[in-house]
A and B are shown apart, each in its own frame.
Chain A
């Protein structure tokens, strides 16, 4: 029954610990008395007997310690004891404790939050079945310059027919917007929607939460219209009522049967898609056969025994074969490419997220260094006490243990606070960045908790060990006892470590400042770049005319003209125009063309430009300058539409030494369009330079390829947002069933497209400022401490006639030296870091001199200020007080 005995002993030791300690004392005391008694019996006098016994016995406290080390729970007791001591010490200096915990909490929370995002978005596998086998398929761009172009539906059909590498292949359109008509008094609404082949859901391995997915029978031109709803749309618009299944709703003024509801977490191909419809039912057969309209995205599930590179090679061969069979069509790609689906969905987020994570790691390191620095200062202040304890036989581990306990307590409290703070930060982040992929997957989970524990452990050990190393200089007990007996001067080795820490801290701060500076300047450049049109007080909104209702071209054109007429007569409206997409709203597609008056292009060479459709008043409404010629005539409507307006860079690129006016473009199925005018360049997104654009008349016939969606742009001389409601009312008056969407001012459009860059810059700036403050505090603290240590020495110097200016510069240099060293270190590291974030910069080089110079100047000023105060205090020392201050 040994285990029973053991448990009994354990229990005794746990419950009666205090009694056992007293009993151990008594036990050893008894032994001592026996020894004394024996000595007396041997003939010594009592005093001698006692003395001799004690000498033979040795250090009773130490023996107690050693005996207790064999006890159960001893380790726990030690740790608890250390904790108790640490709590007491920390409670004595609440300011120090609070600051340290706060610093740790900020550092840890930033790391935990960013790690949560990185893990949820970048690292976690996609929530689909066997996601490692899912790949996104691309065609190369026709000029072979860009490997990750969209696919043509006709090419996809050939892939599907000929390839043997995939268990499933699916085709998806880019997301557009569909009108969902109001039923029973609801307002009509425009929602994000995609067309997909019936096998999209099986390819991803996702089942609808309710109802069924598409079948091959649904995905045909002749099938009756079906739709699958997102969970969010179902809850919001249909009240989460399951009876909506098999019912008919009106989409783009056509009846659709609701057949399924997707699970709430599902979002593909992007955030915010609310409807899925079968692609072969929705799109025109000729579009589904086209080999040269790269408008669709294709995904595939690899067969288990096929590698991605094998599949890619196979797809490429198929594309090449199609290309070779159609040499007369230069817009067919020559090759294919692929990437893992996860990479395709979140690849763009990689650099910014890892940069931010790196920045938070720097912040945490700085936080640890600061806390370590504070601990070192305290350890140094307690040096004499520690030396005495070491001299009395206190074990070094016990002393280090106390230190570690202190830094562990600080880190643990900081970590707990940090975890709470991180939760708040994550919630804020999810709210602000609804646009990033997989945002719905971001949450704190077990791995994040383990990560947080790891961080706490790291911080505790890092901060604790650094301070212990300087505290537990046990072999220098004697010297430190001597040194502390007269505090004339602190040993140089002791502050050396702290100076190193400071240099490191300053260096990291410089890296953060440079990174933040570069991103901030990029963002300013981005915001300052010229879209090519008026952006002030311009309101835009989008709508799409459902083909079912507007099948007749005349009806569509009448709607446009009526809309513009009524909007232009609203009070406060200065000008308004219609266009497919305003500048900054996106690429929107391009088209090939030929110039009728030019010799035919050599085989395989292509000419293409962005396509826009605009009403004649559009250019004036947005202040896009007419450089030559004129805008469309008023009679450019319906079958008479045969003019085109080109942009300046179009004219430069394709009519370098001639007047384009009056020449003809063969476009949109080789129809001739006469060039009526040249307008100024505009950018399709703010971050990319202007590309050639050709503008066709919006009032043309539908068969010419006119889209049925458009953006209305309205300019006013006062607050244009006031016009949003009147304009919506105008739309409702003309067509009660027509919803509008994306009601945004031009400034908001720019803001949306620069959100990434402003977000990254703001966060990094916040981190950099935080580190700067921490570094300044650290610098100030260390120097103040050094000055305090050297008070007597400085006093003597001054008493002996040292110039106060010399004292000032002496102390100042003492503090500035590590700062300047750190600065140099930081600048060197920044050069490397700047290259890493190259892809996030806009309009500046990674080594932007202005940023580097201002960081260096700013840091020097802050460091100077932080050092000046203690230095000035040192130079003002009253020698009599200083010398008496022993």
Chain B
């Protein structure tokens, strides 16, 4: 299952950046979204989710904001910063190159 060690190093960061790139989301929503979009394959545990969120925030890729949630409680919504958007593009390119390369090896070798 989607334990953090199973994810390629740095992939969780990419998933989080991508997930919050469209709209601001709180931690629970981010985990759910990743799980849902990946067809229940990737399950992000809170043990890795929150340290990752806070690390990204400390590095200035995403920004947390306390806002009213859909159920009426205040929650911390993360959104992408300008620098985070650039980082996302770069990491996406990297990922595409890497996964493409791996695919090539798997298919042709």
The residues of A with any CB-CB pair to B shorter than 8 Å are: 1-3, 5-6, 9, 13, 23-24, 26-28, 30-31, 33-35, 37, 57-58, 63, 66-72
On whether the beta carbons of A6 and B59 are closer than 8 Å, the reply is: yes
Please indicate the chain A residues that have their CB under 8 angstroms from the CB of B66 in the complex. Answer: 23
Given the complex of chains A and B, what is the CA–CA distance between A37 and B29 in angstroms?
13
Known: A5-B63, A58-B47. A23 touches B81 (CB 8 A): no
Can you show 14 pairs from A to B with CB atoms below 8 A apart?
Answer: A2-B60, A6-B58, A9-B57, A23-B76, A26-B74, A28-B46, A30-B69, A30-B74, A31-B46, A34-B28, A37-B71, A63-B47, A70-B55, A71-B54
Q: B62-91 toward A: CB 8 Å interface, digit per residue (1/0)?
A: 010010010101111000011100000000
CB distance from B71 to the nearest CB of A (A): 8
Give chain A residues whose Cβ lies under 8 Å from the Cβ of B39. none
Give the contacting residue for A66; candidates B51, B73, B75; CB below 8 A.
Answer: B51
Which residues of the partner chain A approach B69 to less than 8 Å between Cβ atoms? Answer: 30
11 more A-B contacts (CB under 8 A) besides A31-B27, A63-B50? Answer: A2-B83, A26-B76, A27-B76, A30-B76, A31-B46, A58-B47, A67-B50, A70-B54, A70-B55, A70-B58, A71-B54
Give Cα distance in the complex from A28 to B75, angstroms. Answer: 10
* Shortest Cβ distance from B75 into A: residue: A30
Query: Judging by beta carbons under 8 Å apart, are A67 and B76 in contact?
Result: no
Nearest B-chain residue to A34, judged by Cβ: B28
Contacts of A34 in B (CB 8 A): 28
Q: In the assembly, what is the distance between CA of A685 and CA of B67, in Å?
A: 93
- A-B complex: 8 closest residue pairs judged by Cβ atoms: A2-B83, A5-B60, A70-B55, A34-B28, A6-B60, A70-B54, A67-B50, A2-B60
B46 near A57 (CB under 8 angstroms)?
yes
Number of residues of chain B lying within 8 A (CB) of chain A: 25
Query: In the bound complex, how far is the Cα of B74 from the Cα of A33, in angstroms?
Result: 12
B51–A70 CB distance below 8 A = yes
User: In the complex, what distance in Å separates the CA atom of A72 from the CA atom of B55?
Assistant: 9
Q: Are A63 and B46 in contact (CB under 8 A)?
A: yes
Q: Which residue of B lies closest to A70 (CB)?
A: B55
The complex places the Cα of A31 from the Cα of B83 at a distance, in Å, of 27
Known contacts being A6-B59, A70-B55, A72-B58, is A27 close to B75, with CB within 8 Å?
A: yes
Which residues from A are CB-within-8-Å of B83?
1-2, 5
Shortest beta-carbon distance from A342 to chain B in Å? 55
A369 vs B55: C-alpha distance in the bound complex, in angstroms? 42
CA distance A376 to B76 in the complex (A): 46
A71 / chain B contacts, CB cutoff of 8 Å: 54, 58
Against A, the Cβ 8 Å flags (1 = close, 0 = not) of B21-60 are 0000011100000000000000000110011101101111
User: Using Cβ atoms and an 8 Å threshold, which residues of chain B touch A70?
Assistant: 51-52, 54-55, 58
Shortest distance in angstroms between B5's beta carbon and chain A's nearest beta carbon? 14
The residue from A27, A33, A37, A69 contacting B51, defined by CB atoms under 8 A apart: A69
What B residues does A2 contact at CB under 8 A? 60, 81, 83
B47, B52, B63, B82 pick with most chain A CB within 10 angstroms: B47
The distance in angstroms between the C-alpha atoms of A28 and B46, with both chains bound, is 9
Nearest CB to that of A68 among chain B residues?
A: B54
A1 with B82: CB separation less than 8 A: yes
The CA of A35 and the CA of B26, in the complex, are separated in Å by: 13
Tell me which residues across on chain B come within 8 A of A57, comparing CB atoms.
46
* A65 vs B102: C-alpha distance when bound (angstroms): 36
| Cα separation A297 to B54 with both chains bound (whole Å) | 76
Q: How many Å lie between the Cα of A33 and that of B46 in the bound state?
A: 13
Tell me, in angstroms, the Cα distance from A618 to B94 when the chains sit together: 104
Cβ contact within 8 Å between A66 and B47: yes
Collect the chain B residues with CB atoms within 8 Å of residue A27's CB: 26-27, 50, 75-76
Q: How far is the CA of A1 from the CA of B75 in the complex (A)?
A: 26
CA–CA, A71 to B83, complex, Å?
19
A1 contact set on B, CB distance < 8 A: 82-83
Measured CB to CB, the nearest residue on chain A to B56 is A70
Residues of A near B73 (CB, < 8 A) are 30, 33
Residue of B27, B51, B55, B69 with highest tally of chain A CB at under 10 A: B51
Residues of B contacting A33 in the complex (Cβ-Cβ under 8 angstroms) = 73
* A30 touching B28, Cβ below 8 Å: yes
Residue of A nearest to B50 (CB): A67
Which of B51, B59, B63, B81 interacts with A67 by CB under 8 Å?
B51
Q: Least Cβ distance of A731 to chain B in Å?
A: 86
Q: Is the CB of A31 within 8 A of B28?
A: yes
Question: Which of A23, A28, A37, A63 gathers the greatest number of chain B CB atoms within 10 Å?
Answer: A63
Minimal beta-carbon separation of B24 from chain A (angstroms):
14
* Distance, CA A6 to CA B59, complexed state (A): 6
- Alpha-carbon distance between A68 and B54 when the two chains are bound, in angstroms: 8
Task: For the complex, give the distance between the alpha carbons of A884 and B1 in Å.
Answer: 56
How far, in whole Å, are A527 and B1 apart by their CA atoms in the complex?
A: 88
In whole angstroms, what is the CA distance A31 to B28 when docked?
6
With a cutoff of 8 Å between Cβ atoms, the chain B residues found around residue A30 in the complex are 26-28, 69, 73-76
**Alpha-carbon distance A613/B97, docked complex (angstroms):** 103
Chain B nearest Cβ from A752, distance in angstroms = 70
**Distance between Cα atoms of A70 and B50 in the complex (Å):** 10
Q: Given the complex of chains A and B, what is the CA–CA distance between A70 and B63 in angstroms?
A: 15
Residue of A nearest to B52 (CB): A70
Chain B residues with CB under 8 A of A69: 51
Q: Tell which of B50, B55, B71 touches A28, judged by Cβ atoms closer than 8 Å.
A: B50
Q: Which residue in chain A gives the minimum CB-CB distance to B60?
A: A5
Contacts of B58 in A (CB 8 A): 6, 9, 13, 70-72
Q: Which residues does chain B contribute within 8 Å of A35, judged by CB atoms?
A: 28
Nearest chain B CB to A638's CB is how many angstroms away? 101
Please give, as numbers and ranges, the residues of chain A lying within 8 Å of B57 by CB-CB distance. 9
Chain B minimum-CB-distance residue to A35: B28
B71 neighbours in A (Cβ, 8 Å): 37
Chain A nearest CB, measured from B11 CB (Å): 17
Smallest CB gap from A37: residue in B? B71
Instruction: State in angstroms the CA–CA spacing of A551 and B69 once bound together.
Output: 115
